[in-house]
Amino acid sequence: MEKITVLTGAGISAESGIKTFRDADGLWEGHNVMEVASPEGWLKNPSLVLDFYNKRRKQLLAVTPNTAHKALVNLEHKYQVTIITQNVDDLHERAGSSHIIHLHGELLKARSTHNPQEIYEWKNDIKLGDVCTKKHQLRPHIVWFGEEVPMLDAAIEIVSQTDILIIIGTSMQVYPAASLLHYKKTNTPVYFIDPNPAITPKNNLFIYKEKASLGVPKVVAKLLE
């Protein structure tokens, strides 16, 4: 089976009602991003950070996968598919996709502040006083600014071996995710689905200038012909 790698960003989840990471003014739900998405912000005010992600988690549990998430599942009938997502939601999983790599962590997981490898499934609020087996406070299992991206090497390996690359709902301007494009084979066809693509079509680069719910089913239908 040919291998397809799908890179997804905030645009695919926005259509399910999940707000995109940052508004035009650089704020995230009214907060300076560094207050709620950095180790420094966590050390300064863990209660604020926990409250912020508790609200995001409640929001996630109230929404459902959309047409784009569901369309990607159909590719598995013909291809070996890996989804590499910058999103921290579980909408790809709920839609039925089998193999997902979360570059920036997962909102429905918590982890120990002492041991990053000690990770728990977590659908409720994380509160001060919720601790790991060694009695260290739990935090959201999210990759914050300034932290390493543990799944990046695995993602690079997958992109380097893929036969077809699909990019959905992301500008591919934010690193390290943007660096993944450098690792694809030279002639690998790329399908780019975004209402405001920051690149222009060229050989083996096919641009669908529309939102994910419209563009993804078109690309999937084409690849299943």
Q: Per the omega criterion (within 30 degrees of 0), is the bond before 65 cis?
A: no
pLDDT band per the 50, 70, 90 thresholds, residue 205: very high
Give the mean pLDDT of 159-173.
Answer: 91
| pTM assigned to the model | 0.94
pLDDT tens for 21-80 read 655 555 567 788 899 999 999 999 999 999 999 999 999 999 999 999 999 999 999 999
104 is catalytic: yes
Rg of the chain over CA atoms, in angstroms? 18
Neighbours of 119 (CB within 10 A): 16
Q: How far is CA 94 from CA 99, 166, 172, 199, in A?
A: 12, 20, 24, 31
| Residue 199 scores a pLDDT above 80 | no
Out of 69, 92, 104, 141, the active site residue is 104
Q: 10 Å Cβ neighbour count for 150?
A: 13
pLDDT, tens digit (0-9, with 9 covering 90-100), for 91-115? 999 999 999 999 999 999 999 999 9
